[in-house]
Copies of this chain bind each other. A is one copy, B any other.
Amino acid sequence: MTEFTGFDLLPTTPAGRDFVVLAENHAKQFAERATEYDARGVFPFESFKEMRESGFLSASVPHEYGGLGVGLLHDLMVGMSRLARGDAGTAVAANMHIAGAAVIVQMLRRSKADGDTVMADVLAGLLSRVSAGEVLMCFPATERGTDLTSPRMEATPTADGYVLNGRKIFGTMAPVAHLFFPTVRIPNGKGGYRTASAMVPRDTPGLQIVDNWDALGMRTSGSNDITFTDCAIPAGNIFAVRDNYGTTGQWFASFTLTAHLPLIATYLGISEAARDLAIAAAHAVKGRKRLADRVPIQQLVAEIDIDLCTCRAMLQRTARAADEFIARHQTVDPDPAESNALMKEVQCTKYVVNRRAIEVVDRAMTVCGGAAYMNQHPVARLYRDVRAGPFMQPFAPYEALEYIGKVALGLDPNLDR
């Protein structure tokens, strides 16, 4: 018979449970440093060292390649929400790498099914180096003045490979990464482009990590600009070439899913942290009464818990659907309609979680009172961290509405932008 386990999100596999335990332990430690890292605005190399040593960063790598073997996106998501309770910026950064590795696992599985042993060997090697703690990966996709579907960073074919030129922004985890996988466009010879991912080692001449991450929040995420100037890479370092430049189609679900759900869940983690601070503050006495004994404070706490209940349910249901989707399409491409149906559900979840998390932090701030407006109070940091949510890829909130609506109405989901 099942036991009562409360209503937190919980992992559902043994590997997932190990991962979540690690996440909670790291979170506890990171929470203690968070205010100071936030104030100083420097990258938490120390925390990444610890996550590398604990095996946390190889969570998504299968056992056979030396990783923790967390095979469900659902469980990765739960772990990232837990880590974010301690320090959301670090969680966002770690997710870049962990989710990236999970995508590589999917690509490896597909390569094997397709009989592409060359690619399979490359990917397997990569995963082994990840487990060995030798490689941290950064997947910069965002650029100024365009959207995810239309990178302007270009891979120009050369005699023996490609030369890369472009500038990525929000290159999360860049300060500590060894390998960079920017999205690029490749001229298709007909005046248009194809998209792809490039693999660029950190010491490639022309790659520069700009020291410009001075953001409102998520200050431990190391989301620096990265510039690529005539970076030469061999032909084998170009992956996932597709004919989908500028289109919001099937690719979205199958590629970005794995990165996005755990990322969305970090905002749940932020709001759970804010909730705990509010509950603690409510037990203080102010005036004649304990805050907790005032009905309006009870109502504020209720609104917080309603939002958490909402976010957890949506994340859980969507993650399960995503895991089923991934399982169905290990060796075959999904139907575009199914991809979009799922991506719509993911975007509904993102829309709600990002917004609800903001509201939760706002209410927690009200419960905590004026003290929460001081920089040494952790809620002040959460207030800044949580606002990153609506900026997260792939859509601004108003774009998400357009995308969701178009899919709901059975229209072509490409945005009018």
Binding site for B on A (CB under 8 A): 1-4, 6-7, 142, 144-147, 150, 169-170, 214-217, 279, 282-289, 292-306, 309-310, 312-314, 316-318, 321, 324-325, 327-328, 335, 338, 341, 344-345, 348-349, 351-352, 358, 362, 365-366, 369-371, 373-376, 380, 383-384, 387-388, 390-391, 396-406, 408-409, 411, 416-417
Complex Cα–Cα for A302 and B407 (A) = 9
Distance in Å from the Cβ of A305 to the closest Cβ of chain B? 5
B298 touches A146 (CB 8 A): no
A170 touches B299 (CB 8 A): no
Tell which of A370, A374, A383 has the most Cβ of chain B within 10 Å.
Answer: A370
A369 touches B398 (CB 8 A): no
B373 touches A327 (CB 8 A): no
Contacts of A362 in B (CB 8 A): 358, 387
A305 touches B387 (CB 8 A): no
What residue of chain B has the Cβ atom nearest to residue A328's Cβ?
B1
Complex Cα–Cα for A402 and B302 (A) = 7
Distance in Å from the Cβ of A232 to the closest Cβ of chain B? 29
B287 touches A408 (CB 8 A): no
Distance in Å from the Cβ of A243 to the closest Cβ of chain B? 19
B321, B345, B373: which contacts A215 (Cβ < 8 A)? Answer: B373
Distance in Å from the Cβ of A264 to the closest Cβ of chain B? 13
Distance in Å from the Cβ of A275 to the closest Cβ of chain B? 8
Contacts of A321 in B (CB 8 A): 7
Contacts of A390 in B (CB 8 A): 366
Contacts of A370 in B (CB 8 A): 142, 169-170, 391
What residue of chain B has the Cβ atom nearest to residue A392's Cβ?
B370
Complex Cα–Cα for A302 and B325 (A) = 22
Tell which of A2, A293, A317 has the most Cβ of chain B within 10 Å.
Answer: A317
Tell which of A215, A397, A401 has the most Cβ of chain B within 10 Å.
Answer: A401
Complex Cα–Cα for A416 and B3 (A) = 32
Complex Cα–Cα for A391 and B366 (A) = 8
Complex Cα–Cα for A406 and B300 (A) = 11
Contacts of A324 in B (CB 8 A): 2
